[in-house]
A and B are shown apart, each in its own frame.
Chain A
């Protein structure tokens, strides 16, 4: 096992399932033998605020927080929340964005504009290492808009040589049985979204 610790920063809006996605990542990488740490960073309300989680895996992980500028991967479930953390990603890092816009209060109130060129900015800095998917459309096709996080996780799984069974087994452990099939489909469709 390599000594290096890998840093995955996940960002989204409260209610998008950012925390569940990072829980699943934690289980997957722990199962294949890594030390893992995960930290949730969110404000006081249950809904509506921005949510980020720091997930780290390696032979031995100390800090529960990623150092600014040191993320190997950024997974964002919402475009503005992706852009907010663009500086956190290493030069050679990878960014995976869900092409979805959710307006924050200042935009709703007409006081600020929603940034219009998020994808372009990512492509400019990360070239082929910036990936954008329509996770919401895929999730809706699979039967539930709430599966955006699982679709995105499916796409993310392409970055690692980990057996699909390991992903799927851990995925199901975190979800109630009645949504198992839906989320398996969402994961598999997400996996096809980039390759």
Chain B
């Protein structure tokens, strides 16, 4: 049977067909759908979990593997930075049941804090990496990855990019095959799995031997595919770059690498013999190029013409390779001049009033990764740093150390509930331990919002929707030693500002937790607002623009002329605002900001 599947769903399917028993992940674009698919479609055969972070996800998978089961762990590119500690040593211990790490890169950083190239992890960690180029290969490669993992006793990295993870194409479905490895632990295996120096040195040798065997295997790997067409130009490429290049240069010869590490040395030599000139087309870093040049080959083109930055597409490849011979399509308009439509916090999102309060107080905000990062943009401009998951908490403390007294009342960190549980607990513990005074604001919207509303340890539900223990954030932070823990209703701006001011001026660690502000898209939890929507009394609106400062999608400015330039009490105005009833859930934040009482509850 053939079905159209998204790359991530194809990976989930492949895992199921491969007999995987355990799948773990922390959500991260563009990888999040894999676990979602597994938990909804294959829950009878695969135990799926949202782990608190990628490191834990990998560690749980390692345990499953050591006990004999096939385990899949999924993350975005930066997730592997978090999971790199267990990964680097897992390469030494090897596996028992196959263990595959999906790492999904995001060139152009569509939804990421950087655009790092994960291929380097394969070389760095001495583990094989394979890279599919469409949904069918996503499914096939996961299965191959598990076979390789067990055959060579190694973790296997499966690398995708946004365009592979998030593209759809037909996939032939097959049945599940259970793994033949028996489940069980054996204490005799301790030297293999216990990385103390004496055993490390033994395993170090095994790793080197394994990489040599894998290098030889790469030359026989059936998904390293050579297509000899026109022998004048040959392209070495992989993944989606193959698809783009093949699209614009169908007649070139190709060497498509299904295994991107280690590289197939003999086949590369053969390709250089078969074609006159070689072009290397790879997104992001010159990874193949560096390696192939080091083998002593001269290439016709690589990163001398193709960019190392951002994402490729067919046009970029055509233009880069053709150079002056490229004819761009006729431009009818200058699309860059049109108003942009960047992502925005939803109407009535509980983050909006909180950031408005911080802005009004003039606070320097150490931010984090989540929907709330959108508050960095205009008109709020209320986040001033974003580095990685959990970084804001520690960084705010670091800043207060050097600012000394000048930081009081002026610096805080903000972090979402899911992000706090991912990476915010240890830096908060550190503030208390090292006698800091920074304030951490936990924006508890009761879900992992940005990646599509995934459960976490603080929501009280598992990935499969079963109810489970719910972390109480207040109890947790008090246990870390934070004495001053305040809860605020972010929709009450004045009270929120007072609490923030008090805690920021306190010369001790403090935590503010927002309450009763679930994500507006939350399926279970809904904030009940007092009124169904708000409306503007046009005769009163002075057009001061104060309410526009919150960047609410429902509020629109309109210039006025003629009779409309005066309010009912004779004040001159340039324009008025209006509220789109269909987009207004009635949070009432704009009403609190309006100084002229021209925003009023709408009638049901």
Which residues of chain B come closer than 8 Å to A104, judged between CB atoms? Answer: 339-342
Knowing A46-B521, A109-B379, the reply to whether A84 touches B335 (Cβ < 8 A) is yes
Does B246 lie within 8 Å of A45, measured CB to CB?
no
The stretch from B326-334, B356-364, B454-462, B489-497 touching chain A is B326-334
Knowing A44-B29, A67-B313, A87-B333, the reply to whether A49 touches B341 (Cβ < 8 A) is yes
Interface residue count for B (Cβ, 8 Å)? 57
Is B468 positioned at the interface, with any CB of A under 8 Å from its CB? no
Chain A stretch 58-116: residues in CB contact (< 8 A) with chain B: 61-70, 80-81, 83-87, 91, 103-110, 112-115
Whose C-beta in chain A lies nearest to the C-beta of B133? A62
Chain B stretch 305-319: residues in CB contact (< 8 A) with chain A: 313-315, 318
Does B338 lie within 8 Å of A43, measured CB to CB?
no
Residue in contact with B338 in the complex, picked from A35, A80, A103, CB distance below 8 Å: A80
Does A114 lie within 8 Å of B247, measured CB to CB?
no
Is B83 positioned at the interface, with any CB of A under 8 Å from its CB? no
Contact with A along B577-597 (1 / 0, CB 8 A): 000001000000000000000
Does B339 lie within 8 Å of A107, measured CB to CB?
yes
Residue in contact with B134 in the complex, picked from A13, A37, A70, A115, CB distance below 8 Å: A37
Which residues of chain A come closer than 8 Å to B426, judged between CB atoms? Answer: none
Which residues of chain B come closer than 8 Å to A43, judged between CB atoms? Answer: 110-111, 342-343
Does B111 lie within 8 Å of A44, measured CB to CB?
yes
Which residues of chain B come closer than 8 Å to A14, judged between CB atoms? Answer: 343
The stretch from B53-61, B162-170, B185-193 touching chain A is B162-170
Is A189 positioned at the interface, with any CB of B under 8 Å from its CB? no
Is A40 positioned at the interface, with any CB of B under 8 Å from its CB? yes
Contact with B along A134-170 (1 / 0, CB 8 A): 0000000000010000000000000000000000000
Which residues of chain B come closer than 8 Å to A30, judged between CB atoms? Answer: 2, 4, 170
Give, as a whole number of angstroms, the nearest-CB distance from B559 to chain A.
Answer: 7
Does B341 lie within 8 Å of A45, measured CB to CB?
no
Distance in angstroms between the alpha carbons of A39 and B521 in the assembled complex = 24
Does B111 lie within 8 Å of A107, measured CB to CB?
no
Which residues of chain B come closer than 8 Å to A48, judged between CB atoms? Answer: 341, 343-344, 346, 553
Give, as a whole number of angstroms, the nearest-CB distance from B248 to chain A.
Answer: 7
Is A121 positioned at the interface, with any CB of B under 8 Å from its CB? yes
Distance in angstroms between the alpha carbons of A47 and B453 in the assembled complex = 13
Give, as a whole number of angstroms, the nearest-CB distance from A103 to chain B.
Answer: 6
Is B151 positioned at the interface, with any CB of A under 8 Å from its CB? no
Does A13 lie within 8 Å of B244, measured CB to CB?
no
Is B393 positioned at the interface, with any CB of A under 8 Å from its CB? no
Knowing A39-B167, A83-B333, A86-B333, the reply to whether A63 touches B548 (Cβ < 8 A) is no
Whose C-beta in chain A lies nearest to the C-beta of B450? A44
Residue in contact with B248 in the complex, picked from A27, A67, A115, CB distance below 8 Å: A67
Residue in contact with B343 in the complex, picked from A49, A63, A69, A115, CB distance below 8 Å: A49
Distance in angstroms between the alpha carbons of A27 and B4 in the assembled complex = 8
Whose C-beta in chain B lies nearest to the C-beta of A22? B168
Distance in angstroms between the alpha carbons of A84 and B337 in the assembled complex = 9
Distance in angstroms between the alpha carbons of A40 and B452 in the assembled complex = 15
A residues at B contact (CB < 8 Å): 13-14, 23, 26-27, 30, 35-40, 42-50, 61-70, 80-81, 83-87, 91, 103-110, 112-115, 121, 125, 145
Which 10 A/B pairs are nearest by Cβ-Cβ distance?
Answer: A69-B329, A45-B343, A110-B557, A49-B343, A63-B247, A64-B167, A44-B111, A67-B314, A104-B341, A50-B341
> What are 26 A-B interface contacts by the 8 Å CB criterion?
A26-B168, A27-B4, A36-B169, A37-B168, A37-B169, A43-B110, A44-B374, A45-B343, A45-B344, A45-B371, A46-B346, A47-B344, A47-B521, A49-B343, A50-B341, A63-B314, A67-B247, A67-B314, A68-B328, A80-B341, A83-B335, A83-B338, A86-B333, A87-B331, A105-B341, A105-B378
